[in-house]
Structure 1
């Protein structure tokens, strides 16, 4: 019986798989399972553990045959669901405005993009298809610029080489949120088997005007728009920059954006400059991962670079490193870069009227320091759930309801957006602005590290940390749920001896103060708890949405005396951060 339980769904899937390569792959696995080869039935069971869940930003998974993998059959059924939801939700606009489709340099990205275009064409929905691999920010920009009904970006961002994904934007040029994510998911569930999804041949779709390339002026318009985000045009533009796209698709456009901003001394890491979905020089194509920036640092030392910039493979994230006085390079955290950019934009950005209302946002797990800066400057600040879709959509909500001008948004995982040009993370515009800030400060005889110190002396030193605990299996998931339930039902009055002054329950959508005042939260419900402490510290607890983990985030604030070395304050903050993490983990009964 267990044998049939594994083989029957595999045989059904094989009968409807339109791709000869995954057909052959699955046929070999089925034959091996029938022959009793060790481990093959477990492999099949994993590949047919259920359909990939269409959620946060669409789909993402390991490439391969099977319903739980990324492959052409899954793409066709997903596109059929997307087409159905588009026609039901905004039928006429879908047929007239079409869908923007882009793809990165990963394995199968182009094939998935073309399958998406062909299936949409068969449904009567035209598409604007990138003629070459392109950055994710270009797709997000194109949706708004072209007035499209939706957008699709085929990418797995910074995931390992064996992954690919399918990210969806709505007609507001931001990633989808409810109700459209659930609407598309429901439509995918109702899609026919992959070989029954109608597909128009690509040549015919092009002949009928149902598939067309991106307009020639699209990149030029985008580059002009991000050039308009510049705060200042002065500074030492002879700054030496080393850049790496980590085998992704960023080199050409990032270098062009930097060049047009006056930065001509830019050296790309040659081994990583061209798109390569195998990512041969890195174990993990994420600039936050240990070792990913080693080649960039080596080149920076040879060049004597002032600044090192790195994008992830689809160019929506940006990593920054700077040279210390001893000649070594230190990589800044996403929180540090977010504070640098936010502070620069708010303190030196051009105002558009005396009564102008400005707006900045950050995810709730990012440093609260931007909120402190914004408050001091009279700028509206809000926190959102994790994920840039929440930042972008909330920014537009506030813009519409208050008339405020959105200036900046960021999340600690190296994601930043400046103004309304791209309603998503944009590693290209962020790279240009970081270079600009570094050039301005260099002309003053200062570095980005000096700038961080100056900000800390003005607003206090903020230090952030995170602890993740993996609890596998059904028992592990039950324990994670029990921890969150206990914290929710019995909020601690103090953590590590420091009084809790308020706690936010994003599932209940309330903020409760220690004296019992309850305020509503505007964010969508989510299983997240935030504790605000009397000394300015903050703790956050949330289960991971993709792994069997519970994550705790910690932020502490330390005052810096006028004549005190910053390192002394950093040492005190580190001690407090460790103590807070230990106390909260113990309180939660874990660690």
Structure 2
């Protein structure tokens, strides 16, 4: 072991408060596994989008007790520098059901209390959306959730909300990261939670906090069965007759999900017992993400047993929502784009004319924008991630155009300004209410989707990650030097390069783009086609998001159009891939 690595290791061992992780590092040292130790000390776990996320283990590149304490100290000190009343306003802290989440949350509270910052800490596990809600409720300086969302069991994370209740964006992300780095060079003071409570620096958030969120959902006009917009009368909801199967995916969503549905009159809700309780081992799924193949198998089986129309799931921290809908004798998953279009249309018809601002991301379907335009609303587009969707919504909304709805294709949705982050609980409720409404009208989810496609075109979207040859040139540079005139026989109408903030049209015009700089290229094609390319800066691979828009002939069924569109999409992807180096 070289002397620099030995110094780093010894310094870390001297500060690490956890005997388990100290022993882990000492064993690696005794076994002569210098390469593994070098990897553990090759920098720090990066604080970036939404905070930290990584594998639990020993050393600065993993999630562990010392990293958590250093992160909490850096965040606390940054808050004190940025907000004069940060100590008094305090921080809301919640945590999910992962194996280390409770301990990491308590450590965070102990560090912040030692800095003199008031902490409101959930006594038990808590859905992520409730913490975002709690920041607004208590007018807190910040919020923290210890969660790794839908990542595998060996992961955990530290998610941060700013005082506005939304995820942090620049410059706060880099400011907090710098403060963490500075804090990591010092000994971190902690205060016992008993002492913190006695000194008025700790308030436990119990069941009444959860009930406050529940009441807020009940009182939200957008989450009522009846329409807000009196000019759009509709048949009453058919909630009592709707059967719903539900899975919490071994997470924390079940109690609140079932309560919200029951409050709205949905009494035939069948929860998957094997997945209802929080379990950080996630024993019944290979990957606790509803998007993954097989992850929805048990809830679909539950739906079949009870003849339910919907098979719904939240991810383990309940900020995402997934649904499979009965179609014939089986169940078919809706994509995030399909759910986003359906909920967007439903809410646009439901909301008053002064609340029709909706948002989506550059890689999501363009269908929502067309639906919003037809409804007299406005649709904005951001980079991927809810930190952009909600912060941009706050900046764009005004008295005559309040925010209504936003979504991203990765199963994230938010409704109104109750929670300035994705909320799988309110999305579940809204989708159930929409389904009941359609059922009462003698219609269905599939018929509604077909109506949207007939009005605006069948929007087909796919995401593909492409591994390139190791000897391939730097793909981002190559793409910028080789601008195609056509892709899959569709004319390239414009190329948007978010790295330089410009959109270049085929006729030579150039526009500026008001989006943060990002290594992303967007090819807008004729016939509604689109390719969004996100090159990797470190590996020979790219992530591509494809869109096709297919018109439906009057005599053509949706199934026929879908078959035609699928074949065209397969050819589109093949031809685009063949054009790459």
Which bin holds the TM-score, normalised by the shorter protein?
Answer: over 0.9
**In the alignment, what sits opposite 1:341?**
343
Q: In the TM superposition, what is the alpha-carbon distance from 1:320 to its structure 2 partner?
A: 0.4
Kindly report the root-mean-square deviation, in angstroms, between the aligned alpha carbons of the 2 structures: 1.8
Mapping of 1:39-188 within 5 angstroms? 40-90=33-83, 92-188=84-180
| Shift in alpha-carbon separation, 1:547–1:284, aligned structure 2, 3 A | farther
**In the alignment, what sits opposite 1:361?**
359
Give deviations 1:518-572, integer Å, cap 9, x for gaps. Answer: 2222211111110111111111000358987410110000000122111221122
| Shift in alpha-carbon separation, 1:73–1:252, aligned structure 2, 3 A | same
Whole-Å separation in 2 of the counterparts to 1:138 and 1:357: 23
Task: Check whether the contact 1:152–1:168 (CA below 8 A) recurs between aligned residues.
Answer: yes
**In the alignment, what sits opposite 1:526?**
518
Task: Check whether the contact 2:225–2:264 (CA below 8 A) recurs between aligned residues.
Answer: no
Unaligned runs of 5+ in 2: 227-235
- Among candidates 275, 278, 289, match of residue 281 of structure 2: 278
Q: In the TM superposition, what is the alpha-carbon distance from 1:470 to its structure 2 partner?
A: 3.6
**In the alignment, what sits opposite 1:390?**
388
Task: Check whether the contact 1:7–1:30 (CA below 8 A) recurs between aligned residues.
Answer: no
| Mean CA deviation greater in 508-517 or 141-150 | 508-517
Q: In the TM superposition, what is the alpha-carbon distance from 1:16 to its structure 2 partner?
A: 1.4
Give deviations 1:140-177, integer Å, cap 9, x for gaps. Answer: 00001110000111000000000000000000100000
Whole-Å separation in 2 of the counterparts to 1:368 and 1:433: 21
Task: Check whether the contact 1:95–1:126 (CA below 8 A) recurs between aligned residues.
Answer: yes
Mapping of 1:270-349 within 5 angstroms? 270-325=273-328, 327-347=329-349, 349=350
1:235 aligns with 2:237: yes
Whole-Å separation in 2 of the counterparts to 1:548 and 1:285: 28
Whole-Å separation in 2 of the counterparts to 1:563 and 1:208: 73
Whole-Å separation in 1 of the counterparts to 2:74 and 2:498: 30
**In the alignment, what sits opposite 2:401?**
404
Give deviations 1:254-297, integer Å, cap 9, x for gaps. Answer: 00011101101111100010000011111100011111111111
Whole-Å separation in 2 of the counterparts to 1:427 and 1:451: 22
Task: Check whether the contact 1:307–1:320 (CA below 8 A) recurs between aligned residues.
Answer: yes
TM-score, normalised via structure 1 length:
0.93
| Shift in alpha-carbon separation, 1:209–1:56, aligned structure 2, 3 A | same
Whole-Å separation in 2 of the counterparts to 1:137 and 1:207: 29
Whole-Å separation in 1 of the counterparts to 2:102 and 2:467: 35
Whole-Å separation in 1 of the counterparts to 2:571 and 2:331: 29
Mapping of 1:250-269 within 5 angstroms? 250-269=253-272
Task: Check whether the contact 1:357–1:380 (CA below 8 A) recurs between aligned residues.
Answer: no
Give deviations 1:202-228, integer Å, cap 9, x for gaps. Answer: 110111111111265432232222231
| Mean CA deviation greater in 445-454 or 404-413 | 445-454
Task: Check whether the contact 2:124–2:206 (CA below 8 A) recurs between aligned residues.
Answer: no
Whole-Å separation in 2 of the counterparts to 1:545 and 1:258: 44
SS at match of 1:535: helix
Task: Check whether the contact 2:412–2:423 (CA below 8 A) recurs between aligned residues.
Answer: yes
Give deviations 1:11-54, integer Å, cap 9, x for gaps. Answer: 33112101122112222222222xxxxxx333323322220000
Q: In the TM superposition, what is the alpha-carbon distance from 1:512 to its structure 2 partner?
A: 2.2
Whole-Å separation in 1 of the counterparts to 2:380 and 2:558: 28
TM-score, normalised via structure 2 length:
0.94
**In the alignment, what sits opposite 1:212?**
203
**In the alignment, what sits opposite 2:432?**
435
**In the alignment, what sits opposite 1:36?**
none
SS at match of 1:49: coil
SS at match of 1:435: helix
Whole-Å separation in 2 of the counterparts to 1:121 and 1:470: 47
**In the alignment, what sits opposite 1:582?**
574
- Among candidates 539, 557, 567, match of residue 531 of structure 2: 539
| Mean CA deviation greater in 183-192 or 567-576 | 567-576
Task: Check whether the contact 1:287–1:310 (CA below 8 A) recurs between aligned residues.
Answer: yes
- Among candidates 540, 551, 573, match of residue 543 of structure 2: 551
Whole-Å separation in 2 of the counterparts to 1:80 and 1:514: 52
Whole-Å separation in 2 of the counterparts to 1:258 and 1:422: 18
Whole-Å separation in 1 of the counterparts to 2:75 and 2:468: 35
| Shift in alpha-carbon separation, 1:507–1:546, aligned structure 2, 3 A | same
| Mean CA deviation greater in 158-167 or 549-558 | 549-558
Give deviations 1:308-362, integer Å, cap 9, x for gaps. Answer: 110100000000011111x211111111111110011112x1315xxx3621100
Unaligned runs of 5+ in 1: 34-39
| Shift in alpha-carbon separation, 1:224–1:545, aligned structure 2, 3 A | farther
| Shift in alpha-carbon separation, 1:471–1:160, aligned structure 2, 3 A | farther
